[in-house]
Amino acid sequence: MKIHPILSFLLLFVVLFFLNPRALQYSKNKAHGIYGPSQSQNPLADITDLFTWDEDEHILVFMYDGIVFIITIITIITLILNQSWYLLGQASLTISLLFIFRMITFCSTVLPLRKGGKTVCGLFGGCNDFIFSGHMIFQTLMTFIWIKFLTKNSTLHHIIILLLIINGIIGLLAKCHYTVDVLLSYYITFTLANLLF
């Protein structure tokens, strides 16, 4: 599917700044009605519950957010410097479609917060928006772009993929998501990116 980059950017803006906040609020309200105000008292079981992080989990959340932000910014700057407008447009379209699908999934299946997990509801998440991870959408797509279009260096490919896996684990240890959220995000993002690019 080919669409003009400006239309892709407009679609991305509408999805991220108009539709997504409304879907997040819906999910938060629905979770509050189902699970009550102390919903993290009865979270779903997750394999990562076997592992504990003795330090402040806010450090992990900061790392999780920071790694995704830095990789996304570096990728966007690289695409702009290379004047890769087509790739920027396709990335915007892919993110838009993934976030629309993500909104459908987390509004239709509202899960309780992870015990001790992120409880601040913001513009981009933290509102029972599980199934699947928005952070991992961005990082997985940026990984795809680097591997497929920006570098042929296989060592750099391995480093980028390792960083993607490590950051997924950081997000799980920070209790930002359930394991299924991260795994689905990897799979769905790579699959859609392969279809659209």
Q: In this predicted structure, what is the pLDDT of residue 121? A: 58
SS3 122: strand
Chain segment 90-128, per-residue pLDDT in tens: 999 999 999 999 999 988 888 887 766 555 555 556 667
DSSP 7-67: HHHHHHHHIIIIIHHHHHHHHHHHHHHHH-TTGGGSPPP-GGGGS---S-HHHHHHHHHHH
**Close Cβ partners of 161 (under 8 Å, ≥ 6 residues apart):** 143, 147
Computed over every residue of the chain, the mean pLDDT equals 87
- 21 or 192, which is more confident? 192
Residue 48 has pLDDT above 90, yes or no: no
Lowest mean pLDDT among 43-57, 92-106, 144-158, 160-174: 43-57
pTM, entire model:
0.88
Q: In this predicted structure, what is the pLDDT of residue 39? A: 64
Chain segment 53-87, per-residue pLDDT in tens: 656 677 888 899 999 999 999 999 999 999 999 99
Q: In this predicted structure, what is the pLDDT of residue 120? A: 58
- 182 or 57, which is more confident? 182
Q: In this predicted structure, what is the pLDDT of residue 193? A: 96
User: In this structure, what are the phi and psi dihedrals at residue 125, rounded to the nearest 5 degrees?
Assistant: 155, -170
Residue 196 has pLDDT above 80, yes or no: yes
CB 129 within 8 A of CB 102: yes
Lowest mean pLDDT among 38-52, 86-100, 174-188: 38-52
- 121 or 18, which is more confident? 18
Q: In this predicted structure, what is the pLDDT of residue 124? A: 57
Burial class of residue 123 in the structure, from the number of CB atoms within 10 Å of its CB (0-12 exposed, 13-18 middle, 19+ buried):
exposed
Residue 13 has pLDDT above 60, yes or no: yes
